[in-house]
Structure 1
C-alpha cells in the first residue's frame, strides 16, 4: 500500500522546513560516532574511575576494546507505581548483557514525578519543566562516554519525552526504550469518573472518593487510563524505539521479564561494533516523527504530545508544527476508544489486539511510513505482531489478529469510530490553541457563550461552590502558561465543568494552561499561545465578552469590536506567589527562558 498522498505531503513539508537544522544535526552526531568502543578514547585514569566499582572479571572486560558496554538510564523510584517495577531491571539487563557477550552499567538516574500526585498542588508547577531537567540529567549520565548503546527505563508523563530528548542529543548511540507495563485493571473508569463528579457536587465525601481512587490506582504499573503515560508507550512502539509488542504487557510477568532481557540484547546487537549499527539520531527521522503523530491521532492520545513531540523532533533537528499535527489528524481515523475517549482501559485495548492490530491497520491503509528504521531492523511491518511467551521462556511473535476481539475498544479502519483523529488547531483573535474532540460529542463542539474570567482553577472552584456557575459560559483560565507558572495541568476543572455540562449548560474552556490526557467531554481550547504573561490576547478577555469556540471551523474568537478589543490594556498580574515553595524558586531561570507552547515549551534553544 502506498503512503497516503496528504501524509506524504506533510512529511515532505517537514523535511524541507527542517533541511538546514537536520543536516547540521546529522553532521554533529556523525562526528560523535567512533570506529571503536567509546571508552577507548578515555585516558587510563578516566577509565579506571569508570570501572573502579566493578568485579575483577568485569574490569578486565571493560579494559579491552572489543566488548560493548550498555548504559542504563533509569527513572526508578519506589513511590510511583509505574516506576517501582524498574527496581529489578538493572540486574536483568546486566545478566542479559553478559549472555550477549557485553556489559551493562547504570549510567545514571533521572527524577520521575507523578502528575497524579501533584494535580492541583504547588509541585505541579514543576511538572512540565521536569521534562527538560530529565533530559539534562540523562545527558550527565551518558556524558562519561563509557557506553556504546543505551537503554532508557521510563514510563510516565514527562519522563519519556525527556529521555527521548536525551537519547537524540546522544544520537550517535543506539537507544532502546524499555517499558514496565500497565497495572491490571481496577474499578471501571466510568465508575471512578462518576464518583469524582459526585464528590464535586458534594454528594459523597472524601472517604468515598479515596476508596474509589484507591481501587483504580491499586498496584505496580502504569495507570490504566489513556493519558500521557500510556500515550508515551504507544509512541515509543510506533516510532520504533520499543521492541515489537512490548508496550502494554503487565509488570511482574514472565513475558515482561523476557521482553526486558531481549531489549538489552538487542541494544548490544545494534552498536557500531556489529553489522546492524542503528544510531538513534538517524533512526528517528521525519517519517518516524510523522508515524508518532499518526499514532497519537489514531488512538485519541494525550494533548501533552502536541508539545512533547515538537520538542522531541527539535532534538533531532526536525521542525514539527501544530499545523502538521492538525493536517495529519484530518486524514487519520480514530481507531481506539480508551478512557477518557471511551470506557475501556489500556488492558482492554491490549486484549482487543493492541499495538500490533493498530499498526497493521494503519499500514494497510497507507497511513504510516513503512520504510523506516527501527531498533528491530528495517521497516515497521514487523511491529504488526503480538508478543507471547515461548515454551523455552523466550519471546515469540505471532501476526496480529485479523479482527479486533472487541470492536467497541479497537476498530479496523473501515469501522473507525470517527473519520478524523480529533486533534485540531484553533486560530482567531485569541491566538492559537489546541483542542481534542475525540471524547466531545459532535453537538458540543461549537460553544458560543459569555466569558467568565479566572486567574487560576481554584477561583473557578470557589465560584462553583458558591453556586455562581449555573449558566452557559466559557471559562477563561489565564496566567497558566509556561512563563507564568510552568503550565500546570488543570485536571481539577474536569469534574466541575463536567457536572455543569451534565446539568444542560453550554460550557467551554479556554486556557493557556494544559489539560493533557484528561481532556475529555468538555470542549477545551488549551495551550493558548501567546500566553497571557507574554501579552497574549487571552489576558484581555473580560467577564461578559461573547466567546466563540468552534472546533468544526477551527476558530477561537471574542465576538466584539476588533479595534476596541485590541486596544484594551493588559492586566497586571502579580505572579510572585508562584515563585517560591516546593522548590519553585529553583526553577526561576527555566520560567524566564522557556519557549512558547507551540514551539515545544522548551528551555533549550
Structure 2
C-alpha cells in the first residue's frame, strides 16, 4: 500500500467520483473477456478473409483455436524521426510470435503527425483532434475481432494518448506499448533556444537557424527534449504498460530490438489462453492514473497531459480532474531537470539512472502505488530496474542504479529534490480555469500584473513584436485558440518572442485558451483557459489595457476589472471562417462542433 496519506486521499477521492462510470466499464470488460477469443467463432468466410495473405504455417495456426494471435497497431511513417524506426518492428514481432507457436498480424495503421513540422502552421489546427482520430483508427483495425492481445507502436504527442484511448476501449484485450526510443544527443537544447531567440530578434538569418535546428533534430528517434513525446514514454512505463526499462533506449541498437521482441512475447503470455490473463482495462485503474500524474510532476512533464491524461482516464471510466492533477503536484517533489526544465536531454536522464532510479525513489518515498497490476506481471517495484543485454541477445533486468544518481544535476533523490512540488498547477479566478507550468520559470517571474494586449491570432503577436509595440510590461492575451475555435493549436513559436522581451527586463506573461506544448518554458503562461473564448468565456470580454494578474505561486488568474462592468460587456466575435478550410481543416468541422472543454480532455468522445 502507498505510505503517503495524501496520495491515498486523492486516490480515494478519484475512486469515489469515478464509481458511477468505472463500474459499468468494468462490467462490460468482464463480460467481453468471459466470452474468450472470438476468432474461432467467426464464419469460415470471415476467417478466410482474415488470414488469406498469411503463409501456410500461420494459416494453419489461425484456422485452429489453440494459439493466440497478436494484433499490431502501428504509427509507422518514414517522414517523422520518432516513428521511422517502426518500419522493421512488425517482422520482428511476427518472428517472436512464431517462435512461441503463435501468430501476429498488423491490424492497422494510425496517422502520426508531428507538432514540430506543423508548429505555427495551419496543420497544427488538426493536431489535437488527431488524437481522437488515432483512437478511432486503431478501433477500426481491432474491430476485425481476430486478436487475443495487442501491441501498440507509437511515440509522440497525440499518438500515444490516442492509442491508450483505443487500448482502453478494447480493455478486455491485453496491451503492451512498444517505444522506438530517443535519437542520440545533438546540438544542446540551450544553444538551440539561443539561436531561436537571435533569429526572432533578426540577429541571425534563416540559414543559421536551419543549421541549428538540423543539428538538434538529426536522426531516427524521438526529439531529445522533455516534451510531450518523452512524457508519453515515461507515462507508459510508470503506468505499467511498457516492459520495464524500455522507455529511453536509442533506436537501431541490439537492446532496442531485444526489448521489442520481449514486448511481443510478453503480450502473448498474458492472453486469455494462459494463466496470466491481464486485460488493459484492469492495468489502468485509479492507482495507475495517480502514478502517471505523480510521474509527470516528478519529471517536470508536459502541460499537454492535463488534456491527455483526463481523456485517457475517461476511456477507462475514470474521472480525473485538473484539481486532482494540481493537488498531486503539491505533494510530488521534482526529481528531474531535463530541458526545458534544465540543460540536459532525455539521454542524459537515462544515463543518470532513468526510469528505474526515478520509480524506486518515488516508491521509497511512498509517492506511488506499488500494489498495481502491470503488463509485466509484477507490482510497480518490478519497474525499479534497468534493462541490459545478455550475451545470448536476450534482455536482463538489473536493480536500479546505486542510491546516488549518475548526475545529480539531472536526476536527484527524493530527499534532495530540485523543488518540493512538481510545478504544474491549476489557476482559478474570474477568467475561469487554466493551467500553468512554473518548473522552468524563475521564482521572481511567476507573478505578473500588467495591462492586457489582446490578439485573436498568434501571427498578430509577431507583427506587434516586429513593430516595437510590445517593448514594455504586458500580458499577451491570445484568444480564440481553443478547441471549438480552431482545434487548439500549440502556440510554441511565441516563446522566443516573449522570451526576448522578458530578457530585456519587462514583466511579460501569456494568457491563452490555446496550448503551449510540452516545451513550455521560462515565460509564465496561463494556458488552456476554460471556458474558451468561442464558448463565451470571460477571456472573450477582455479589452486592451485591462489589468491582468497572473500569480503562479498562489494559483490565481484574475481580470482586475469591476465584475459588473465585465459582465455587461459584449463578447468578442471575430470572423473565424478562415479556420474552416485549407489543408483538410474542412474535414474537421464536425470535431470543432462536438469537442468538449479543455478541462474535460478536449475530447469528441
* Bin for the TM-score computed over the shorter chain: over 0.9
Runs ≥4 in structure 1, deviation > 4 angstroms? none
Contact 1:181 1:221 (8 Å CA) reproduced: yes
Further displaced range: 28-37 or 448-457: 28-37
CA distance in 2 between partners of 1:101 and 1:438 (Å): 50
Which residue of 2 is the match for residue 163 of structure 1?
163
CA distance in 2, matches of 1:98, 1:2: 40
Residue 448 of structure 2: SS of its match in structure 1?
strand
Match of 1:360 in 2: 360
Gaps of 5+ in 1: none
**Displacement of 1:561 after TM fit?**
1.1
Helix, strand or coil: the match of 2:415?
helix
Structure 1 residue 3: Cα displacement: 2.5
- SS where residue 448 of structure 1 aligns? strand
SS in structure 2 opposite 1:94?
helix
Number of aligned positions between the proteins: 604
Asked if the contact 1:311/1:599 (under 8 Å) is kept, the reply is: yes
Q: How does 1:248-287 map to 2 (within 5 A)?
A: 248-287=248-287
Q: CA deviation at 1:264?
A: 0.1
Within 5 A, what are the aligned runs for 1:205-354?
205-354=205-354
Contact kept? 1:76, 1:86, Cα under 8 Å: yes
Q: Is the 8 A contact 2:458 2:491 kept in 1?
A: yes
1:10 paired residue number: 10
Counterpart of 1:603 in structure 2 is 604
Aligned mates of 2:241, 2:433 — CA distance in 1: 31
Provide the rounded CA distance (Å) in 2 between the counterparts of 1:189 and 1:307.
26
Aligned-partner Cα distance in 1 for 2:33–2:444:
55
Alignment of 1:97-116 (within 5 A): 97-116=97-116
2:464 is aligned with 1:463? yes
Q: Which moved more, 1:358-367 or 1:2-11?
A: 2-11
User: Over the residues paired in the alignment, what is the CA RMSD in angstroms?
Assistant: 0.7
Deviations 1:148-176 (A, max 9, x none): 00000000000000000000000000000
Q: Shift in Å at residue 490 of structure 1?
A: 0.2
Instruction: State whether structure 2 residue 64 is matched by structure 1 residue 64.
Output: yes
Residue 178 of structure 2 corresponds to 178
Question: What is the TM-score when the length of structure 1 is the normalising length?
Answer: 0.99
1:146 aligns with 2:146: yes
Verify the 8 A CA contact 1:36 1:65 in the aligned structure 2.
Answer: no
Per the TM alignment, residue 36 of structure 1 is displaced from its structure 2 partner at its CA by 4.0
Match of 1:526 in 2: 527
Matched residue SS, 2:514 = coil
Q: CA deviation at 1:378?
A: 2.9
Shift of 1:251: 0.1
* Structure 2 unaligned spans of 5+: none
Counterpart for residue 49 of structure 2: 49
- Distance in structure 1 (CA, Å) of the matches to 2:33 and 2:8: 31
How big is the shift at 1:205? 0.3
3-state SS of paired residue (1:549): strand
Tell whether the 8 Å contact from 1:35 to 1:272 is kept in structure 2 after alignment. Answer: no
Contact 1:92 1:260 survives alignment (8 Å):
yes
Write the distance in 2 (CA, Å) between the matches of 1:100 and 1:205.
56
SS at 1:386's partner residue? strand
Question: 1:182, 1:224 within 8 Å by CA — same for their partners in 2?
Answer: yes
SS of aligned partner of 1:301: coil
SS at match of 2:211: helix
> Superposition pairs for residues 431-580 of structure 1, below 5 Å?
431-580=432-581
TM-superposed CA distance for 1:34, in Å, is 4.1
* Secondary structure in structure 1 of the residue aligned to 2:557: strand
Distance 1:61 1:101 in 2: 8
What secondary structure does 1:510 align onto?
strand
Alpha-carbon distance in structure 2 between the residues aligned to 1:590 and 1:573 = 20
- In structure 2, the residue matched to 1:417 is 418
